[in-house]
Amino acid sequence: MVVHMHSASGFSTLTALAVAEAGATAIDSALSPFAGGASQPPTETLVGALRGTERATGLDLPLLSDLAEHFHKVLDHYRPLLNLRALQTDPGILLHQVPGGMFSNLLSQLTEQEATGRLAEVLEEIPRVRADLGYPPLVTPTSQIVGIQAVMNVLAGGRYRQVTKEVRDYVRGLYGTPPGPLDPALRARILAETPGIHGRPADSLEPELAQAIAGVRALVPSADTAEALSYGLFPEVYRRYRASRDAGIDDTVLTTAALGILGALRRPSSPPPGRALAPAPDGDGGPLPWAFAGRSQLQNQRRWLDAGRRRARH
């Protein structure tokens, strides 16, 4: 069992130790420069806490310390892109129940709207929207559905003056049967505009692979099926990725760094006898998907940061 958590409430390290003792096979963590807040618990802390126990990871703590020192410098370079609120511990999560990943997304949305001063209103609105939608779990994708609608309710000057497509689809049944009853007025309003569905949601979907292949090949004639899937799932993200790649950004340094770190972390010293808590295995021994996802995000951030610095100089 692989356990994933965020550190926003301050409970993540305690939780990590508890699930390790309960038999988890892997725990998602982050090197200390990038840990805490909306991120994961620090890797070094967990390695140190489990050292000498039957769940010891066998990872090299001095090596992790060297890696952390390097990434402290990387963090300094990208610090202007960070939202400090997302890096802080917020025990208020115990009251408003907004998980760390969702919290960082909310901050990003409010920052784009220059409305971070209204965060408290959004946090108060989220439980109300969740109740209106029958208490869906605050995990992807329903956390984004609830969060975005809450932001719109606050910024639009009235509740449900604007209703997102995702909320409409949710009420219509395209995300399955809600856990609880929907707000009657909201449900009646949406279903009066677009009828709901009956039966299995996937049965009402049109085949999309051929359309995705045609769409991605209009951008990149040589695109393969994997790229078509990326385009079909995240068309705007894929367009930005292609624009960044076509701009000629050299990502070989980031690729080398990611693979080097993975290689180092996969050569742990011998763990003591007992059940070792090891990194989650990769199917073919190759790089894990998060390495490439992180690399893509870093190269986009580097482009934005460099563009901002050029504008500042002029």
Per residue in 181-194, pLDDT tens? 999 999 999 999 88
- Confidence at 256, pLDDT banded by 50, 70, 90: low
Average pLDDT, the chain: 82
Residue 302 phi, psi dihedral angles, 5° rounding: -65, -40
Considering the domain architecture, whether residues 112 and 21 belong to the same structural domain is answered as: no
Considering the domain architecture, whether residues 83 and 12 belong to the same structural domain is answered as: yes
Considering the domain architecture, whether residues 179 and 247 belong to the same structural domain is answered as: no
Q: What's the rounded mean pLDDT across residues 12-35?
A: 94
Domain presence at residue 59: yes
Q: Give the domain CATH number at 133.
A: 1.10.472.90
Residue 311: pLDDT over 70? no
Domain presence at residue 11: yes
Residue 71: pLDDT over 70? yes
Q: What's the rounded mean pLDDT across residues 132-153?
A: 92
Considering the domain architecture, whether residues 83 and 129 belong to the same structural domain is answered as: no
- For the range 271-275, what are the long-range contacts, defined as Cβ-Cβ under 8 Å and sequence gap of 24 or more? 271/56, 271/57, 271/58, 272/52, 272/54, 272/56, 272/58, 273/54, 274/53, 274/54, 274/55, 274/56, 275/23, 275/54, 275/55
- Confidence at 215, pLDDT banded by 50, 70, 90: very high
Residue 47: pLDDT over 90? yes
Query: At which of 29, 57, 87 does a domain end?
Result: 87
Domain presence at residue 304: no
Q: What's the rounded mean pLDDT across residues 209-216?
A: 92
Structural domain that includes position 83: 2-87
Considering the domain architecture, whether residues 161 and 126 belong to the same structural domain is answered as: yes
Angle at CA of residue 305, ends 101 and 42, nearest 5°: 40
124 vs 309, residue with greater confidence: 124
Structural contact between residues 271 and 56, judged by C-beta atoms closer than 8 angstroms: yes
Residue 274: pLDDT over 50? no
Domain presence at residue 276: no
Considering the domain architecture, whether residues 104 and 127 belong to the same structural domain is answered as: yes
Considering the domain architecture, whether residues 140 and 199 belong to the same structural domain is answered as: yes
- Confidence at 155, pLDDT banded by 50, 70, 90: very high
Domain presence at residue 240: yes
Considering the domain architecture, whether residues 142 and 233 belong to the same structural domain is answered as: no
Domain presence at residue 279: no
- Confidence at 261, pLDDT banded by 50, 70, 90: low
C-alpha Rg value of the chain to the nearest Å: 22
Domain presence at residue 310: no
Going by C-beta distance under 8 Å and a sequence separation of 6 or more, which residues neighbour residue 142? 133, 136, 170, 175
- Confidence at 310, pLDDT banded by 50, 70, 90: low
Whole-angstrom Cα distance, residue 118 to residue 100? 18
Q: What is the dihedral of CA 237, 241, 246, 248, to 10 degrees?
A: 150
Burial 258-273 (b: 16+ CB within 10 A, else e): beebbeebeebeebee
Residue 235: pLDDT over 50? yes
Whole-angstrom Cα distance, residue 93 to residue 123? 9
- Confidence at 89, pLDDT banded by 50, 70, 90: confident
| The pLDDT value given to residue 273 | 45
Query: At which of 87, 118, 144 does a domain end?
Result: 87
95 vs 176, residue with greater confidence: 176
Considering the domain architecture, whether residues 63 and 101 belong to the same structural domain is answered as: no
2 strand-pairing partners: 26
Residue 252: pLDDT over 70? no
- Confidence at 37, pLDDT banded by 50, 70, 90: confident
How many distinct structural domains can be found in the chain? 3
138 vs 43, residue with greater confidence: 43
Assigned token pair, 16: 């990590």
Domain presence at residue 38: yes
Assigned token pair, 89: 């511990």
Considering the domain architecture, whether residues 104 and 186 belong to the same structural domain is answered as: yes
Q: Please state, in angstroms and as integers, the Cα–Cα distance from residue 184 to each residue in 132, 144, 198, 269, following that order.
A: 8, 22, 18, 60
Considering the domain architecture, whether residues 183 and 130 belong to the same structural domain is answered as: yes
Considering the domain architecture, whether residues 99 and 199 belong to the same structural domain is answered as: yes
Residue 4: pLDDT over 50? yes
| The pLDDT value given to residue 3 | 94
Q: What is the dihedral of CA 36, 39, 44, 46, to 10 degrees?
A: 90
Query: At which of 87, 115, 139 does a domain end?
Result: 87
In 10 A of CB 219, how many CB atoms? 15
| The pLDDT value given to residue 292 | 44
Structural contact between residues 31 and 43, judged by C-beta atoms closer than 8 angstroms: yes
Q: Please state, in angstroms and as integers, the Cα–Cα distance from residue 169 to each residue in 128, 163, 305, following that order.
A: 19, 10, 37
